[in-house]
Amino acid sequence: MRPTIEQVAAHAGVGRSTVSRVVNGSSKVGPKTRLAVQKAIEELRYTPNRAARSLVTRRTDTVALVISESPERVFSDPFFAGAVRGIAAQLTASGKQLLITMARSGSERPALEAYLGGGHVDGVLLLSLHHEDPLPARLGELGVPAVVGGRPLDPALAAHVVDVDNQAGAYLAVRHLIERGRHRIATITGPMDMLVSVHRLGGYRDGLIASGLEESSDLVAGGDFSEQSGAEATRELLARRPDLDAVFAASDLMALGSLRVLREAGRADVAVVGFDDSPFAEQAGLTSVHQPVEDMGREMVRLLLMLIDGGMPSRSVLVLTPHLAIRETS
Amino acid sequence: MRPTIEQVAAHAGVGRSTVSRVVNGSSKVGPKTRLAVQKAIEELRYTPNRAARSLVTRRTDTVALVISESPERVFSDPFFAGAVRGIAAQLTASGKQLLITMARSGSERPALEAYLGGGHVDGVLLLSLHHEDPLPARLGELGVPAVVGGRPLDPALAAHVVDVDNQAGAYLAVRHLIERGRHRIATITGPMDMLVSVHRLGGYRDGLIASGLEESSDLVAGGDFSEQSGAEATRELLARRPDLDAVFAASDLMALGSLRVLREAGRADVAVVGFDDSPFAEQAGLTSVHQPVEDMGREMVRLLLMLIDGGMPSRSVLVLTPHLAIRETS
DNA sequence: ACATCGGCTGGGAGCGCTCCCAATAATGCA
DNA sequence: TGCATTATTGGGAGCGCTCCCAGCCGATGT
């Protein structure tokens, strides 16, 4: 049987409250009492019962991470690896537990909402929000602290956001291609129900405009961030505009797919730039926009912890700046 | 404020216990009382307080999944995607929560052990156990139910195991290559501190022996399951035995690396078979041993739930059978 | 030497829930 | 119709912990 605080108290010859104070790091404990208690804790291998504690403190010391993607996507997109890494690191440091939920089918959604809103977690981190997902707003109503990674389409939907400046990143990529002498630059976008995609497309346009190039809808194809979709989009682009001399893909995976199709088509002359700067990009020698994903995860947690601890303004948006990792494909 | 069971009882005009009975699905409740209670629950949007419940039931309704790999590995190896998918599906169906932990650095290990042994979870699922990891044994001592996915090197270390018959899978792959007329079949193994690797190598040998082919250490190279290591191993094999006509890689990622190197070397004549049958394999047209990973996850959960519910013999090993997915590379 | 003060300390109360047992209502049978 | 059973129901007790408040004790001030 696990020892209770009462047993520790008896063992140390002190009162229940004193043990509690030591465990929770209160300063109002005499030095030798504290020592005796610590010894007892050690000897009895005492761990506080989390359930009992959270029953009275109303805190659970767990934070949920909701990723609105299928496990397949989550586990194949290195973006998440970085983010989860950052999140896990920062969270572990604060002694909280991480509960990961992958956005399951729509049918499980109500159960998820009930769970998150049911006081089982102290706060929620949302990643890869789609469309007009009502979850953050719902959490807001319920008073559950939440931080979103990547701005949702409708800014009113989420109060607290950490994001990467996707527009700036895309802009960087396009300007780089232009500096390399490319003029017929195509782009493969992500799903347009995600703001990331909109922003990256915007940055692409800005880049063209800033150089006095005109944009053409011929040079824009849609994908869904997957390798597969990148390959298909590239085939399409190649068919429409055989004269293209560069491709800016809104994700590394799509860039990889693009690269594959270009190679198969014998078009090694076409420069390719991706987005994410994942390990894949590095390995494939792909020039890519580096997102500080790990930092993003870290910042999300930092923000969430502040929210949980009470403070914080009603809204906050933190935008991190990407940079370009230049490699062989451009 | 969230309503308590007491408030629901008052609202429904019944006693506290009756509400508890309805919530927990006891049959000893009159039909119209039950209806009234359900209505009250609905109206008040009542969710039981998990902490209070677990304080008395001594169960937390959470299960931990410990993956002994870095987030990078976890998020890049599709094996985990399938397993997690199966686990999550089966677990959700039983109303339990999943807590994912990636095996962090060794320094965080004691904290993890304390957490898992501290009664914070009802059971533990272990994946990708390395070497002689003491964790399952430790959990056994502490009386924490645990199920291991993939047999650890030392069978004494884990009582309850769900595994794929890796030896049979490798055997299948090699026999297939032989049927296709290959005779100088090389293999790229995984890290030999994992039983999977040992078994796959064993199956490879069995396959050769069964066809009267002799094995040669020239044809065996070591990898660590990564694309990178597959590429390196292939370069090594090619240098040692330029006459090889097939490669059996113990993971898809390594097979992909191998394929890349072979292509670069202009050796399209060499057949390649991988292991895992991940989405990557399908996409790349790679022949691969299909592991029923999702089933494995599902079975692990099923077994764990039985353990948690008390029953079950002291030891159990469930072995799932793989099959071959034949594609263009062989 | 005595009253006062403040730092420590101990124990009561209660968080929301399940379990157990006694009380009550309903049902069956003679 | 009366009594034994059985089906439901309600409330006390207590899970282990934190919070609050009162009590204790030595130290300080006069």
**Integer distance in angstroms from CA B33 to C1' C27?**
18
**Nearest residue in chain B measured CA to CA from A120:** B50
The per-residue pLDDT for A230 is 95
A150 in the Ramachandran plot: left (φ > 0), alpha (ψ -120 to 50) or beta? left
Provide the mean pLDDT of chain B. 88
Chain A CB contacts of B119 below 8 Å: 2, 47, 49-50
Taking an 8 Å cut-off on Cβ atoms, the answer to whether A2 and B119 are in contact is yes
A37 touches strand C (CB under 7 A): no
A18 touches strand C (CB under 7 A): yes
Taking an 8 Å cut-off on Cβ atoms, the answer to whether A81 and B76 are in contact is yes
Distance from CA of A192 to the nearest CA of B (A): 25
Pick the residue of A5, A45, A75, A259 with the most B CBs within 10 A to test the interface with B by mutation: A75
pLDDT in tens, chain A (330 residues): 788 999 999 999 999 999 999 998 877 788 888 899 999 999 998 988 889 999 999 888 889 999 888 777 787 777 888 888 899 888 877 878 888 888 656 666 777 887 787 778 899 999 877 767 788 888 888 888 999 987 665 666 677 889 889 999 999 999 999 999 999 999 999 999 888 899 999 999 999 999 999 889 999 999 998 889 999 999 999 999 999 999 999 999 899 999 999 999 999 999 999 998 877 788 789 999 998 888 999 999 999 998 888 766 678 889 999 999 999 998
* Arithmetic mean of pLDDT, B320-325: 93
List of residues 6+ apart from B285 with CB closer than 8 A: B327, B328, B329
**Token output for B201:** 């190598």
**Integer distance in angstroms from CA B308 to C1' D5?**
37
Question: For residues B66 and B112, is the Cβ–Cβ distance under 8 A?
Answer: yes
Kindly report the length of chain A.
Answer: 330
The per-residue pLDDT for A154 is 65
**Nearest residue in chain A measured CA to CA from B115:** A47
Cα–Cα distance between A37 and A20 in angstroms, integer? 10
Q: Which nucleotide is nearest to A57 (CA to C1')?
A: D18
Cα–Cα distance between B17 and A279 in angstroms, integer? 56
Chain A CB contacts of B100 below 8 Å: 98-100
Q: Which residue has the higher pLDDT, A274 or B279?
A: A274
Residue A83: closest CA among A70, A107, A62, A100: A100
Under the banding of pLDDT at 50, 70 and 90, the label for residue B105 is: low
pLDDT over 70 (residue B102): yes
Q: E-assigned strands of B168-262?
A: 185-189, 220-222, 246-249
**Nearest residue in chain A measured CA to CA from B282:** A228
Cα–Cα distance between A87 and A100 in angstroms, integer? 11
- Mean pLDDT is lowest, of A33-42, A175-184, B3-12, B84-93, for B84-93
**Token output for B145:** 């139910």
The per-residue pLDDT for A169 is 95
The per-residue pLDDT for A7 is 92
The per-residue pLDDT for A30 is 86
B33 touches strand C (CB under 7 A): no
Cα–Cα distance between B161 and B312 in angstroms, integer? 13
Query: Angle, to 10 degrees, between the axis of helix A293-308 and the axis of helix A78-93?
Result: 40
Taking an 8 Å cut-off on Cβ atoms, the answer to whether A100 and B104 are in contact is no
Q: E-assigned strands of chain A?
A: 62-67, 97-102, 123-127, 146-149, 160-164, 185-189, 220-222, 246-249, 271-276, 287-290, 316-320, 323-325
The per-residue pLDDT for B151 is 65
Query: Angle, to 10 degrees, between the axis of helix A227-240 and the axis of helix A252-264?
Result: 50
Q: pLDDT, tens digit, for every residue of B184-236?
A: 999 999 999 888 899 999 999 999 999 999 889 999 999 998 889 999 999 99
**Which bases of chain C come closer than 7 Å to a protein CB?**
7-12, 14-21
Question: What pTM was computed for the model?
Answer: 0.78
Q: E-assigned strands of A191-241?
A: 220-222
Chain A CB contacts of B99 below 8 Å: 97-100
Chain A CB contacts of B51 below 8 Å: 50-52, 54-55, 60
Distance from CA of A322 to the nearest CA of B (A): 20
The per-residue pLDDT for B250 is 95
